[in-house]
Every structure is written in C-alpha cells, then in structure tokens.
Chain A
Amino acid sequence: MLKVFFVLLFELTTIIIFSAILVSYLMRWDTQNKHSRFELFLLCLGLGPGVVSLIIYYLFLFIPQAGSLFYFVTVFVFFLCLAALNWRYLLKLNVNFYEGLDLNSQIDFSNIPPFPGIKRVTSIFNGAKIKFWIFLGLAGVFIYYWFKKVLNDPITGHDILEYAFQGKIFGDGMFIQYVKYRFDPDSNFFYVGLHGFSFPLLHAWERVVGNVLGVSSDLYFRSITGLYGFFILLVLFYFLNKRSFLLACFCIVLVYGTNGFRLTLTEYHIDTYRIYFLIGSFVFLGYFLKHQDMVSLVGFSLFAGLHSFSHSLGVFVSVFAFFSLFVFVKANLKERLRFALISIFIILLTGGIHYLLDSIIGTGWIFQELKYY
C-alpha cells in the first residue's frame, strides 16, 4: 500500500515538474515581458498530464507495443531534453505561491460594504497578516476532502469507468488504431464515447508507470478530478484576488456552495479536466486579443488543442474562440492569417488531428448521430 502511495506522489510530482518545464518555454518566448512568471506557472500547472497524454497518444499510434519501459523512458527523456535546452529559464521560474497569490499582505477592508459593526470586527485584524491562513483554510478543506476520497473511494461512476476501462485497454494493449467500431475483443467492451483520447490516456500512462514500477493502481486517475478542480479554484482565486481578497474568498465559498460544481469537484469525472483547459484557452485568448503577442497565441492554441483532445465539446468551443481570435485581433489581414495559421497548426498538433483521423478513417465522429446516455 505504501508503495502505491509513493508511486502516486511520484506521478503527481513529475507532472507538476513537466508543467514547469513547459512553462519555462512560454517564459522564454515572452520577450516583451507581458506576462507575470507566476501567472504563467499558475495557469499552466495542469499542462503536464495533458501533454503526457499527447506524447503517449503519438507513441501508441506510431510506435505501438514497444513495451512499458520504452514509453516510460521516452516521456522522461523528452522532458529532460526540454529542461536541458531551457534550464536558464527553468531556474527563473517563480513558484512562490505565498508571494504570487499576494498572501503576505494585510487584508484591505477599506472597500467592503459598511455592514453594521463591521469596523469593530475589522479593527481586530488591523496589522495581522491573516490572508495566508484564510486561504489555507479554504484550500485545506478541499485538499483534505479530496485526498481522503482518492485514497478511500473506488471509481464508481458510469462515465469515468468508460474512460478508465478504455484507458486500461490502451495501457495494456499499447497501441491506438482508428477503427469504425471501437470494440475490444478480449472483453467484448464497446467504447461508445466519441471524445478525444486525452482522458483515457491518463490512465494508460498510469498503467505504463505501474508496469515499470511494479504496482497496479488507479489512484492517479482518481486524483485527476480533484487536482484539476484545485487548479480551477486557484486560477479563480488568483484573478479575483487582483480586485479584492475578500471577493476571491467569497467566490470560492460560492463554488463550494453550488451543488453542481461541488459535485463536479468531488465526483470522479472528466469535467474539471476539460473545464481547466477551457479556462486556460479563454485567459490566453483574452491576453492575445489585448497584446497580440506570441506567448498568448501559443498558450491559447495549446490549451484549445488540449481542450479539444479531452472532449468533443472542446472542439466546437475552440472553433468559436478561434473565430473571435481572427475577427477581434487588431491586425491587418496578412497578420491575421499568419496568427490563424500558427494557431491552427498548434491546435491540430495538440489534439485536433485526432478528430480529423477519427472522421476520415475511424468512427466517423461528427457524422455520427449524437446520443445522450
């Protein structure tokens, strides 16, 4: 059991490090210093698993059944090479959450509404740096609950089990083929999902790592919902904290208090994973329309591609976002076309290609009748 737990920690740590390595490249390309380093890191915390699933996808597609060790080593070597080529920027990365989230200052009570007796209450905190403790309390509730759930509750939901089993098929078979009917002859399982493979491939990666390290578990796959839920909360908190710390806390309480999203955070499912990429693509789209810089364009396209790769809905939302990018960017037609081509290329590379292949030589994807289960 202890070994399984350590493997989970290893997996979680490595994907955060992978994310950091990817962020260091965005920093490198940010030659005009338009972006805060901490903000880039925070926004891209969840890139690691998405990109790992993408690498595994291409490996299973082009170099099938090469053995778990091969895939394991290839992914690590890939990121090690990326890190080695950009180590200067990697070292400059700001991962200081205390400063980055502005938790080291006093709460500004000057702009809150004049509730009766509020001044008496706020005067108690004058001079006290309690932001960190309030934040820790809010985040701690979630983290505690989530770890307790991941370690105790097996996967039970219908959809997540579909993904998990398809991931198991990918991980054990170590190949991806485009076929009209996604049928597994060993179990007679029929994958009815029409979405990209990013999410199932997270479990495939877990099985690859498990095979190499000698454990069999789905803890990492279970932890994804909470992990990405936490990333969403962090991003929300970060941007609202720019206006007011109390507003940011209020928003987090609202999220906890809303049934649907609380369930989204607390039940194993793909939702937080795809919503995280949606939020990332929106943020970078906003920055791109504002600054017209390459980092924002690459960031937007990367997130939009991974959003597509995680879910069919992501394809359509990314198309709309791409439309806005083309229409609302302040540039001449030639520049717009250049931006559009770069963006399309990255979106295709980071997941869009799956849908092209699936439409042409696979299940038919968009040409199928959509069904609700």
Chain B
Amino acid sequence: MNFLLRKEFWLFVLYGSATAALIGFVYFLTLKTDYNKDYSLIYREIETPAKMILNGYLGQWFRFKTQGNLNWLVIPFLLKFFITWKSQENWKKGMVVTYLLAFCLIGAKGFFNTRYQITLFPLTLFLVCTFLWDFVNSKTFKPYKVLIYLGLIGLLAFNNFYSMFFNRSISVRQIKVKNVEKSFSFYKFSNEILEQIEAGATTMSEFIENVERVVQKTFRYIQAFLILSRSVNYELKWGKEVSYPSLKYIKENNWEGKFLVNNLPHFYYYTGKKGIYYWAGDDKFYFEGGQASLLTNRTLSQTSSFLLDSLACKYVFSLLEYNKYNPKFAEFLRAFAKPIFLDASEFIIYELQRDSGLYEVQPVIDSLKFRISKSTPPYFINLR
C-alpha cells in the first residue's frame, strides 16, 4: 500500500478522473436532441451549438459514437509536440502540420458528414497508439502502467457499450424484427389493431409490449410497424423481402409515364427505366439543361399539372425518410400522389393525380412519436 503515499499516484488519479469527467461531459452534451431544429441537422446530430462543435467541427476527435472515444487523446501529445517544437525533427514537423491542416479542412468543410470525419481516423489511431505506447513505456509512469492500460480498455468498452445501447433506440424496428423472426413479410394493420397497439402506450417500452401482445396474438410474426391508409380506400401491394421489392415491381411492370425519382440512384441502377432526377431537400429537378425548382413559385395543383403535362411524369419514386426533408413536397404527395407500393425499406411508389385528395401513408411509429413526444420527448431521442 506504499503507493498510496506517493504523489505520482494521486496525480494519476487526478488525471484519470479529469479524463473520465471530460468524456462524460462530452457524452452528456451530445446526447440531447432538439426536435425543433432542421431535420437534416437532427439526422446528422449537429442541431445544437454544443453538438455542432463536438460532433461537427471537432467531430474527428469528439464524435464518440462513430469515431470511438480515443481519438482526442492525440491532443495532449500534439500539445507536447508543439511545446518541444524546436527540438523536433523536420520530417515530423511536416507530418504534424499536414495532419493538422487536413484536420482543419475536414472540420471546416466536412463537419456535416461523418464519412468525411472518418478520413483521418487510421492516422489518428496510429498516432494515439504509438504515442500512448511510448508514454506508457517511458520511465516516468512505469509503476502505473496497469492502471493506464485498464483505463484505455475501459474507455473502449464504455464506448462500445454506449454505441450498442443507443443504436438500439435508433433502430427499434429492425431490432424487433430480428428478435422475433428471421423470416420477413409484411402485414397491413387494420385500424382496429392499430388502436389496440397504441392504446395506453405512453412510453416506447409500453408500445413495444403492446405490439408484442397484440400482434403476436393476431399474426404469427411481428412485422414492421409500417402501413396504413386511414383515409383512402385503396389496395397496397406488399412485396416479399427481397432486396428492394419496389425496384423489382418497377422493373417488371410497364409504366405509361416517367418517374420523378427523389434522389434514389437505385432506380437507375436496378430498373433500367427513365426517370427525372429530383431532390426534395433542395426542391430541384435535373435535366439536360441543368436544374430547376419544382415546387417553388407553383401551387400544389400547378405542380401536379406541370409534372403530368409538361414532364410526362406520372409516378413518384421516393423514400418515406426523404419526404421529410421538404414539408411542401410531403404536403404535395399527401394531396396529389396516391401510394401504390411500399416495401420494407420504406421505398414507396406513388401515382400522381390531377385532383387532390388525402393520401396518408405513414409509419405508425411516427404517429405514436408525435403523440407521445408532447409529454415525454426524452423517450424518443434518436428515433427517426
């Protein structure tokens, strides 16, 4: 127990506690979700100022969820490097400067995209590993090597635990599918069954319990909580679980007009049909002469006529998720696009209509989220 009397030990305890506190603080700041912000920012988890800095600009070091929580450990070593700048070899200076310039560029221009943030990950990990290895093997901290190593492994384990835990809440639907049955097929829930599922559910766990109770009793397998047209009486055609039933459906049928394709290159790669490339997020459609707005300066009715008459476009191919990027586009679809096919991946085919109606197709889980989130928003963090 002599080590308890040593100053170095208590310094290490202080250092370890500060590290743990910093990590905890970063997690704390990056866990909150503000649903009132832009959907694309929420989706990328940079909707609050703290998240914009930690997950965005400094995401290469602090976006623990995707980058792991070790990368930031390169900071003390970089600081040490700059303090001892004069004694460093030229080639090391060059490498560190290049690394930092690349870091700044990605931070400034690629903060939006986790894929860009991963660019320097192997190099950062290499630096962290070598620096830590040299640090641990240096004479200064020799008696406390074990603690440092255990600390490192603890950091990693915690992060993985965190990721596993929180990823679960992101993909509740997939988890339920995996838990119950491997085989995959779609069921259409009637309004009665939906009401039974939703009745009394005020939290996610209660909702899931209800699903299990009601659906297992009614069907052999639980299936996605998708579906339903509450207000329109038409038949939805469900595909079996192949990669993309909707694409197969498009490919194997004859269509009288073109498709408006909402940013889904899948359509072109797999179907061989002609489409009009559109992205709801920007409200731009693309053609030989460039790009133009679809909904801007047009009423919903005019948009429908423009698509049907000027562009000879009779169908829309989209993803339910992508519709959310533009509320006006979603509104247009609800009013003038009749859903005719929806698959497990939430790819959806609509048929454009001249007359407006009310064509609702929405995941049940969304309606529940909306209802519950008024009273208990924290239960639905990350639930998209």
Partners in one complex: yes
Q: With A192-B286, A320-B102 known to touch, is A114 a contact of B146 (CB < 8 Å)?
A: yes
The reply on A244 being an interface residue by CB < 8 A is yes
> With the chains together, A255 CA to B98 CA distance in Å?
23
Docked-complex contact A162 and B265, CB < 8 angstroms: yes
> With the chains together, A373 CA to B91 CA distance in Å?
38
Contact with B along A153-182 (1 / 0, CB 8 A): 011101001101100100000000000110
CB-CB nearest in chain B for A292: B91
> With the chains together, A302 CA to B297 CA distance in Å?
49
Task: Mark the stretch among B23-31, B115-123, B225-233, B334-342 that contacts chain A.
Answer: B115-123
Residues of B within 8 A of A260 (CB): 63, 65-68, 114, 117-118, 121
Docked-complex contact B133 and A323, CB < 8 angstroms: no
The reply on B2 being an interface residue by CB < 8 A is no
Task: Mark the stretch among B185-193, B207-215, B287-295 that contacts chain A.
Answer: B287-295
Q: With A187-B275, A189-B275 known to touch, is A285 a contact of B94 (CB < 8 Å)?
A: yes
Residues of B48-76 contacting chain A, CB below 8 A: 63, 65-68, 70
Contact of A161 among B65, B101, B265, B274 (CB under 8 A): B265
The reply on A293 being an interface residue by CB < 8 A is no
Contact of A113 among B113, B114, B136 (CB under 8 A): B136
Contact with B along A43-57 (1 / 0, CB 8 A): 000000000000000
CB-CB nearest in chain B for A370: B109
Residues of B within 8 A of A251 (CB): 125-126, 129
List residues of B whose CB falls within 8 A of some A CB. Answer: 40, 63, 65-68, 70, 89-91, 93-95, 97-99, 101-102, 105-106, 109-110, 112-123, 125-126, 129-130, 133, 136-137, 145-146, 148-149, 156, 159-160, 163, 167, 243-244, 258, 263-266, 268-269, 272-277, 279, 281-282, 286-291
> With the chains together, A255 CA to B70 CA distance in Å?
11
Residues of A313-358 contacting chain B, CB below 8 A: 313, 316-317, 320-321, 323-325, 327-330
CB-CB nearest in chain A for B277: A190
Docked-complex contact B115 and A264, CB < 8 angstroms: yes
Q: With A161-B266, A260-B66 known to touch, is A269 a contact of B115 (CB < 8 Å)?
A: yes
List residues of A whose CB falls within 8 A of some B CB. Answer: 111, 113-116, 154-156, 158, 161-162, 164-165, 168, 180-181, 183, 185, 187-190, 192, 232, 235-236, 239-240, 243-244, 247, 250-251, 254-255, 257-261, 263-264, 269, 271, 274-275, 278-279, 282, 285-286, 289-290, 313, 316-317, 320-321, 323-325, 327-330, 370-373
Docked-complex contact B160 and A257, CB < 8 angstroms: yes
Docked-complex contact A282 and B65, CB < 8 angstroms: no
> With the chains together, A211 CA to B327 CA distance in Å?
45
Number of cross-chain contacts by CB at 8 Å = 196
Docked-complex contact A165 and B265, CB < 8 angstroms: yes
Docked-complex contact B149 and A188, CB < 8 angstroms: no
Residues of B within 8 A of A317 (CB): 101-102, 105, 119
Q: With A113-B146, A243-B130 known to touch, is A258 a contact of B67 (CB < 8 Å)?
A: yes
Docked-complex contact B133 and A244, CB < 8 angstroms: yes
Docked-complex contact B279 and A286, CB < 8 angstroms: no
Docked-complex contact B277 and A189, CB < 8 angstroms: yes
Docked-complex contact A289 and B95, CB < 8 angstroms: yes
Residues of A within 8 A of B281 (CB): 373
Docked-complex contact B65 and A261, CB < 8 angstroms: no
